[in-house]
Amino acid sequence: MIDISNKEKVLETKIEQEKEKIKLLGEEATCPICESEIGKENAKQILTKCEDKIIQYELEIKTINEDYRVLRLREESICSDKKSLTKKKEKYDKQINDNKSNKMLIEVKEESLDKKNVEIKSIEKEIEIARTKLKEAKSNIVNEYTQDELGNIESDKERISKEKTMLNEKIKSYKSSKDDLDELKRKIKIERKKQSHYLILKNIFSKNGIIADIIGNCIEDIEEDCNQILKDINDGEMQVIFRTEKENKDKSVKDTLDIIVETEDGAATYEAFSGGEKTVINFAIRLALSKMLTKVNGVGFGFIVLDEVFGALDEFNRDKMSKVINYLKNEFGQIFIISHDEMKERFGNYIKIVKNARTKISSIEEVE
């Protein structure tokens, strides 16, 4: 974005230069080198070339503005896609958890059905034994049993018949359970296939997937905005670099977030700088993050609160920080600065709050 703005300013400067040349051309125009008269014909040719260049530069400015508009639309589209992808990730995570619960329920039912199959086999064996006994009883009934014994056999026959009916009902029930199990197995197969798809989507939406790419793009924008703010404060004496990956001893790469600061003396980590320098770096990073949140959410912030941003700065850097804060009025409707130092001379509006040493109650003492 900044590069596009710079190109546009360069072209506008060139247009002004060409217009200045046109103003200098007249009937008695002279060469700035040899001071000889240029002549009407030569002046006309030079005038035509200047006008052509102006038209060319204006077309380039128009093209640059169109490119800027396209980039803005692309940025808005990426922000919208990020919100949509985050909602989808939450939905897929919930479905994966539901699938795990269904899997546990199916496993319990499979175990129960296995037990029922064992019971069915035992009952079928008992029925076969009963049928054998009944057949033997019928063949020997005339010669071996008395009338009373025949009555007992009939009773046994009725009892066995009833047991057979009950056993058939159980077999029917178990067969129905087996059908249910087959249906559950079919559903398990479908759910497992869905689960494999959800796992793929989970990896896509994990911190190493699409979100990692989005964060990578955001880091670049934050770094660019941060360095522009540092340039406004200290004329580019410091530049911030965000390092998101670090190489281990075994050459593998792990995720990290290190802040490297480059100065005229070389590069160093954030921790190596003094309190005042850290205050300036912190201010630039926080302000860059605020700008990024504004872009991502598509809604501007009406105000910003700066807490103790002058505490560790010397008078020279306080003056620079004050200029940058006043510059921020174009981006934020209101700027609140919290400080224990006297800020009345630096900013027009202020509220002074004093704490009563005896009652420990704070009150507003002065407002301007």
More confident residue, 199 or 224: 224
More confident residue, 204 or 243: 243
Q: Which residue has the tokens 């409707």?
A: 333
Cβ pair 232, 327 in contact under 8 A: yes
The mean predicted confidence, pLDDT, of the chain is 76
Give pLDDT, residue 75: 76
**Tens digits of residue pLDDT in 142-171:** 555 556 666 777 787 888 888 888 888 888
Going from N- to C-terminal start, the domains of the chain cover 2-83, 87-204, 210-367
State yes or no: pLDDT of 344 exceeds 60: yes
Give pLDDT, residue 112: 79
**Tens digits of residue pLDDT in 298-310:** 766 677 888 877 7
Helices 2-24 and 40-144 sit at what angle, rounded to 10 degrees? 160
How many CA atoms, within 13 angstroms, populate the side-chain half-sphere of residue 322?
A: 16
Which residue type sits at 277? E
Determine the average pLDDT of the residues in 166-184.
Answer: 83
With a CB cutoff of 8 Å and minimum separation 6, the contacts of 152 are none
CB neighbours (10 Å) of residue 142? 8
Determine the average pLDDT of the residues in 274-293.
Answer: 82
Using pLDDT thresholds of 50, 70 and 90, give the confidence band for residue 54.
confident
- CATH pick for 2-83 out of 1.10.3470, 3.30.70, 1.10.287, 1.10.405: 1.10.287
Distance CA(332)–CA(300), nearest Å, equals: 8
Which residue stretches of the chain are H helix?
2-24, 40-144, 147-204, 210-234, 275-297, 315-327
Q: Is 287 exposed, middle or buried (CB count within 10 Å of its CB: 0-12, 13-18, 19+)?
A: buried
Query: Which two three-digit tokens encode residue 118?
Result: 């064992």
Give pLDDT, residue 32: 54
Report the CATH architecture of 210-367: 3-Layer(aba) Sandwich (3.40)
Give pLDDT, residue 332: 74
Give pLDDT, residue 337: 82
Determine the average pLDDT of the residues in 108-135.
Answer: 80
Give pLDDT, residue 89: 77
Distance CA(311)–CA(139), nearest Å, equals: 113
Using pLDDT thresholds of 50, 70 and 90, give the confidence band for residue 55.
confident
Give pLDDT, residue 211: 54
More confident residue, 19 or 175: 175
Give pLDDT, residue 23: 65
Using pLDDT thresholds of 50, 70 and 90, give the confidence band for residue 252.
confident
In terms of Cα–Cα distance, which of 13, 103, 96 is closest to 60?
13
Give pLDDT, residue 29: 54
**Tens digits of residue pLDDT in 308-342:** 777 767 787 777 777 777 767 777 778 888 887 77
**Tens digits of residue pLDDT in 81-102:** 777 877 887 787 787 777 777 7
